[in-house]
Amino acid sequence: MNDSAFHYVDGVLHVEGVSTASLAKQFGTPLYVYSRDALTRAYHAYADACASRKGTVHVAVKANSNLAVLNVFVRMGAGFDIVSAGELARVTAAGGKASDTVFSGVGKSAAEMREALELGVKGFNVESIPELHVLNEVAKSLGKKARISLRVNPDVDAKTHPYISTGLKANKFGVAFSDARATHRAAHAMSNLEVVGIGYHIGSQITEISPYLDALDKVLELVEQIEADGMHIHHVNVGGGLGITYDDETPPDIDAFVKTLLDHIEKRGHGHRKVFFEPGRSLVGNAGALITRVEYLKPGKEKNFAIVDAAMNDLARPAMYESFHRIEPVSQRDSVKAHQYDVVGPVCESGDWLGCDRALAIEQGDLLAILSAGAYGFTMSSNYNTRPRAAEVMVDGSKAHVVREREEVKQLFAGEKVLPN
């Protein structure tokens, strides 16, 4: 198993102390299942490594924005990283504070800026000069000063999928590194902005520390240049992006990752600065699984298909990124011969697949667990083909709590109107 929260007991897959088969029976499928213990252990790995150091953890809400998941982190003292006003509303609904929340994103609207300033967000990660001007004007209209950290693009290859690489010159994110010093001077000159930090985010599902260190070296050199221009940088935001084990990846241990970056910053003479971490996937990815039922087994001359009730609208990552998720039977069957299957959903797209060429000993009606689905699973789900989104359940020891009810079809078009006669 990719995470000890999911394990077999007498041939049946359990999450913590609860059978996933019993969860499927009680709550139906497709079903997202999360482990509170796995969330807690992952967060403490970051927080403990930052303890007595100048590191601060801001959970990336986009990875998993369920209120119960966010509330687990709130209870442990987490801050948050958001990319929309909607995510800010989720943070506060989950008991989090705007004052512990950093607003990132390349396309914040003036309305979102206004709402965030009125609620008192910790700061903004700003990504362009036009955004600086809009934020300055919004802050001025409110009689406030907006605290900002410029996100620079260090042009460092994170060695990950092109769609989730964000730190190269060809990516839309951040201020070009060659323009960063001048952009800081421009921001410093704006009356309703306060420059407090600098940051970068080079990508997601990164399984090596070296790209982080390459980016750090470039950014810390830039910090020295900026301070030579008369500005003070209070914190460095190293972003998130640490990978997890989906298959055979071997990402760095969280504790080693955090300490390596903090040690490197100190060795470079910047140990007096605060350091912001913005983890997402490495907190929630292996804390979740998607449980699905086999509707049909369809043999073919070239492919065998296991057609399940989950689809690309429930878990978009395989179709979008050609990403790999381990798929395991909920109940192990010694009496059934294994065959190679493509695990596919009922959506009318050839791209609707969840796993290809998997050896599975299964029969029609069996349950499958798609592992490592806690990050960018439900948050990227949709209602394509007018399919209601899955329910979400949080397991805490021997108890299971519904943390999002399954949608009903009538909810999907409740706001729609036909034309009048």
Return left, alpha or beta for 209; rule: phi > 0 is left, psi -120 to 50 is alpha, else beta: alpha
pLDDT of residue 159: 55
User: What span, in angstroms and rounded, lies between the C-alpha atoms of 285 and 245?
Assistant: 9
87 is in an annotated binding site: no
For the entire predicted model, the pTM comes to 0.95
User: What span, in angstroms and rounded, lies between the C-alpha atoms of 62 and 47?
Assistant: 20
CATH 3.40.640.10 is held by the domain 6-35+285-412: no
241 is in an annotated binding site: yes
281 is in an annotated binding site: yes
pLDDT of residue 274: 97
Tell me if 259 sits within 8 A of 221, measured CB to CB: no
Buried/exposed 384-393: b ≥16 CB within 10 Å, e otherwise: eeebbbbbbb
280 is in an annotated binding site: yes
321 is in an annotated binding site: yes
The sign of the dihedral angle between the CA atoms of 165, 171, 174, 180 is positive
174 is in an annotated binding site: no
Domain boundaries, the chain: 6-35+285-412, 105-277
Please give the single-letter amino acid code of residue 406.
Answer: R
Who contacts 2 (Cβ-Cβ below 8 Å, separation ≥6)?
244, 245, 246, 286, 326, 371, 372
**Residues forming the active site:** 348
Strand-pair category, 327-329 with 274-277:
unpaired
User: What span, in angstroms and rounded, lies between the C-alpha atoms of 331 and 22?
Assistant: 11
Taking each helix axis from N to C end, the angle separating 254-267 and 36-50, rounded to the nearest 10 degrees, works out to 20
Buried/exposed 148-181: b ≥16 CB within 10 Å, e otherwise: bbbbbbbbbebebeeebbbbbeebebbbebeebb
Please give the single-letter amino acid code of residue 137.
Answer: E
Placement of tokens 């600098």 in the chain: 198
pLDDT of residue 154: 84
Protein fold of 105-277: TIM Barrel (3.20.20)
Please give the single-letter amino acid code of residue 292.
Answer: T
75 is in an annotated binding site: no
pLDDT digit string, tens, across residues 402-420 = 999 999 999 999 999 999 9
- Regions of the chain with pLDDT less than 70: 1-4, 157-173
Identify any residues that bridge with 328 across adjacent strands, giving them in sequence order: 369
